Copies of this chain bind each other. A is one copy, B any other.
């Protein structure tokens, strides 16, 4: 593999000149041409490791997501990638598996590899610790979930409002006993969506006791949704509708309903976030649609801003959700 001195020698210039040609320094056109030709001839491409060492910063950003098998996050990842490509940053995808320990390891790697910055959908609100990075001046952007104590830019979804909207919609359509399956107690997304649900129920005059008794925390995965739904169905006063706080748990909940011989829209089902392969689900599901791609794109834009040296005060961008009514919440009487 040819290096910068090889190129310099064949072009009859100094290594510094070659470096300038590749980094937009001032070089006369004639020399620059000679350098480019020599580089092409030798198949030279700059060694990024050496460059990173010298610059004390790599042109790679880390993207930490909690579940690579959740289409929400893969779509978010695409948003990041597309946006990053514009400034020639490459994206390293790390799957933390909702595991704070694994997440910590990846954060360490980001530091040790001198990545330019990190975008993270935190595994835990309380326990994810970004201070090691921020303390060393590495730009960090939180996306989708905001770790409690972190002083970082963030891109979020208006979870509470979305949850409130969703619940109000179910009540409007005539469901009387609306339950909620939300995520782990630690996560900001879980709690905000739950807060929205509670607010709407309270507003509708449902006693807080009832609401609390018909709330379940699960793990944002299919199995968790399944188990929670079964519990709810086994209650003395089972619900006639459910607001499920993420897409995968909705898949599980639907499964549990099917096994119990219950079908929407007689029983209302509303999912926060698009269910993967929604086209396969009958009847079509009412969902709160999340701007997953834009979430990623905005986060990357924010990060690139910081990398370019911006020292604006920290900001949080909140993206809107959109309620998409479909068959699964048509109403308990099956009318219209």
Contact = CB atoms under 8 A, between A and B. Distances in A.
B58 A69 contact: no
A194 B109 CA distance: 43
A27 interface: no
Interface string A271-285: 000011101111000
Contact of A49 (B53, B75, B95, B136): B53
A255 B75 CA distance: 22
Contacts of A280: 251, 254-255, 277, 280-281
A68 B77 contact: yes
A71 interface: yes
B69 A75 contact: yes
Given A48-B113, A92-B92, A251-B279, A78 B74 contact: no
Interface in A246-287: 251, 254-255, 275-277, 279-282
A16 B113 CA distance: 21
Contacts of A171: none
Contacts of A251: 277, 279-280
A112 interface: yes
A108 interface: yes
A14 interface: no
A45 B111 contact: yes
Nearest to A112: B48
Interface string A38-69: 00000001111110110000101000000011
A81 interface: yes
The complex is assembled from copies of this chain, and their number is 2
Interface residues of A, number: 43
Contacts of A111: 1, 45
Given A1-B136, A93-B93, A112 B45 contact: yes
A62 to B, nearest CB: 10
A279 B90 CA distance: 36
28 contacts: A1-B136, A45-B108, A45-B111, A46-B112, A47-B112, A48-B112, A48-B114, A49-B53, A49-B58, A49-B113, A49-B114, A68-B74, A69-B71, A69-B75, A77-B95, A81-B95, A90-B94, A90-B109, A251-B277, A251-B279, A251-B280, A254-B280, A255-B280, A276-B276, A277-B277, A277-B280, A280-B280, A282-B282
Cβ-closest 10 pairs across A and B? A93-B93, A48-B112, A49-B52, A92-B92, A49-B53, A280-B280, A69-B74, A68-B74, A48-B113, A53-B53
Interface of A: 1, 45-50, 52-53, 58, 60, 68-69, 71, 74-75, 77-78, 81, 90, 92-95, 106, 108-109, 111-114, 136, 222, 251, 254-255, 275-277, 279-282
Given A69-B75, A77-B95, A275-B277, 12 more contacts: A47-B114, A49-B53, A49-B114, A53-B53, A68-B93, A69-B71, A69-B78, A92-B93, A93-B95, A222-B279, A276-B277, A280-B280
